[in-house]
């Protein structure tokens, strides 16, 4: 596709260089039946280098996932070839089913229907802890 000309879709911009692939994985974009372009190490005046993800489909994107990977990323919703909405994201306070608790004794391991919820406990170091067992994200 012509990556500059999305008609209806989502552009995630200002991703810290090197974080694009992680975001791609956590957003499960590999399962998406649409054209997705990851551009890595794009020259940026503000950031030096950045990654950009362009999704050529009008999908719902979980902003908490983006905020978890890179709170400085921005999201542009494209409709009819123009930016319809533009947002900065920031660090989310809680994460629901974004990351999963790895503690084998955590209740989420036996209660399969429980949501995996993590709460931000240290904003500076971006530490999240499982609300059930306090295990931190790795």
Cβ proximity to Zn ion: between 52 and 101 the closer is 101
User: Taking CB under 5 A as the criterion, which residues in 22-61 touch Zn ion?
Assistant: none
- 69: contact with Zn ion by CB under 5 A: no
Q: How many CB atoms lie within 10 A of CB 81?
A: 11
**From CA 106, how far away is CA 76, in angstroms rounded?**
37
Interface pick for Zn ion out of 6, 19, 36, 130 (rule CB under 5 A): 130
Total of residues contacting Zn ion (CB under 5 A): 7
**From CA 25, how far away is CA 130, in angstroms rounded?**
21
Cβ proximity to Zn ion: between 40 and 129 the closer is 129
**From CA 34, how far away is CA 56, in angstroms rounded?**
6
66 phi/psi in degrees, rounded to 5: -65, -45
Q: How many CB atoms lie within 10 A of CB 100?
A: 13
Residue 104 is encoded by which pair of tokens? 């084998």
- Cβ pair 71, 89 in contact under 8 A: yes
User: Taking CB under 5 A as the criterion, which residues in 87-126 touch Zn ion?
Assistant: 101, 103, 106
Cβ proximity to Zn ion: between 33 and 113 the closer is 113
Least CB distance from residue 133 to Zn ion, whole Å? 3
Least CB distance from residue 103 to Zn ion, whole Å? 5
- 132: contact with Zn ion by CB under 5 A: yes
* Positions that interact with Zn ion (CB under 5 A): 101, 103, 106, 130, 132-133, 135
């Amino acid at each position: 596709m012509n990556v500059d000309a999305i008609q209806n879709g989502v552009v995630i911009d200002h991703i810290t260089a090197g974080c694009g692939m992680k975001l791609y994985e956590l957003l499960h974009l590999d399962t998406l039946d649409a054209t997705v372009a990851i551009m890595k190490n794009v020259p940026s005046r503000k950031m030096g280098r950045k990654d950009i993800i362009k999704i050529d489909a009008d999908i719902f994107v979980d902003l908490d996932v983006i905020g978890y990977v890179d709170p400085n990323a921005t999201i542009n919703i494209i409709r009819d070839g123009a930016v319809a909405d533009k947002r900065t994201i920031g660090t989310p306070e809680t994460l629901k089913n974004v990351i999963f608790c790895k503690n084998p004794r955590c209740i989420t391991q036996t209660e399969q229907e429980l949501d995996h919820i993590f709460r931000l406990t240290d904003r500076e170091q971006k530490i999240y802890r499982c609300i059930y067992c306090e295990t931190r994200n790795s």
